[in-house]
Amino acid sequence: MNIHICLDNIATEPWLVSLKKALPDATASVWEPGSPPADYAVVWNPPQQFIDEQPNLKAMFSIGAGVDSLLQLNLPKDLCIVRLEDAGMSVQMAEYVCHAVIGYFRDFKHYDTSKQKAKWSYRKTKDRKDFAVGVMGLGTLGLRVVKTLQMFEYPVNGYSRTPHQIPGVNCFSGQQGFKEFLNNTKVLVNLLPLTAETEYILNRDTLSQLQPESYVINVARGKHLVDQDLIDLIDSGHISGATLDVFATEPLPPLHQFWQHPKITVTPHTAARTLREETVTQIANKILSLQQGNSITGQVDLQRGY
């Protein structure tokens, strides 16, 4: 069995070492233009040339949760693309989102400012029941975020394309459901996959429907959000602030307004990092399952886009 690794902008050698350790009977190598066709591939943002030169792939494993950029390529219709399922990402995502939600709920920015002035100054306690957190996207990462938020007893709303039932969560779906979801949400957490349907879903119209003094946390993709609409709504006071981890252009250009905006926190696409060992173990187990003729989970539906 031959496996190619093709990772854009990522040091490949450690991945090769881990993969060889996990699958000692396989021949793993770093793809170069002209490499012979392989049975499996482990990829991150591969070029079109890679796809064109690898017609025999039984499966192509992406080392990320989101496959939007992969799906921009011209892909064979029957190619089995597999995305990462958790592999240590969901706990990081829950940690990041809860940090942002709690930071806003408890107003830690105020205490940072007070400390700089040596000022002993309390903030009024907010009422948890008026502080519904709305999670868009109820896949592996979204569900973990929901579960963790529930531990802090925030009311939680969930929004997804198809209807879900989650204990203790007000679940919404579809067009009408989206409106209701927004109207009932104080802190919006975006974890949707990026597809033609969800591109720029966070815009002036939708964000205006959030409750007054709401807060926005985007940890999915930059292209879910219309940047200027968010800035305008923050400047008008309807939205109190935002924590953004993802951007339409990454790295975020130095002159982008988000960097200087006092009510926007920016982090460099770091909410949930791919963990190499966990990822390789998951991929290796799936390759072994496929080799034994078994089915695997995590296969991307090319029509649906995730």
Cβ closest to ligand OXD, residue 4 vs residue 83:
83
Kindly give the residue spans of alpha helices, DSSP state H, lying in the chain: 13-22, 48-53, 89-105, 108-116, 140-151, 174-183, 204-208, 227-235, 257-260, 276-291
Residue 76 tokens read as 């064979």
CB of 38 to ligand OXD, least distance (A): 23
Catalytic residue among 83, 144, 161, 221: 221
Rounded Cα–Cα distance for residues 218 and 215 (Å): 10
Cβ closest to ligand OXD, residue 194 vs residue 234:
194
CB of 64 to ligand OXD, least distance (A): 3
In which residue are the tokens 């793993």 written?
A: 28
- Chain residues binding ligand OXD by CB under 6 A are 64-66
Cβ closest to ligand OXD, residue 228 vs residue 270:
270
CB of 169 to ligand OXD, least distance (A): 24
* 221 assigned to active site: yes
CB of 16 to ligand OXD, least distance (A): 20
Contact 21, 15 (CB under 8 A): no
Cβ closest to ligand OXD, residue 64 vs residue 158:
64
State the residue number with the nearest CB to ligand OXD. 64
Catalytic residue among 99, 164, 256, 269: 269
* 269 assigned to active site: yes
Residue environment code for 49-58, b if the CB has 16+ CB neighbours within 10 A, otherwise e: ebbebbeebe
Bridge partner list, 242: 216, 264
Residue environment code for 195-230, b if the CB has 16+ CB neighbours within 10 A, otherwise e: beebeebbeeebbebbbeebbbbbbbbbbbbbbebb
Q: Which of the residues are catalytic?
A: 221, 269
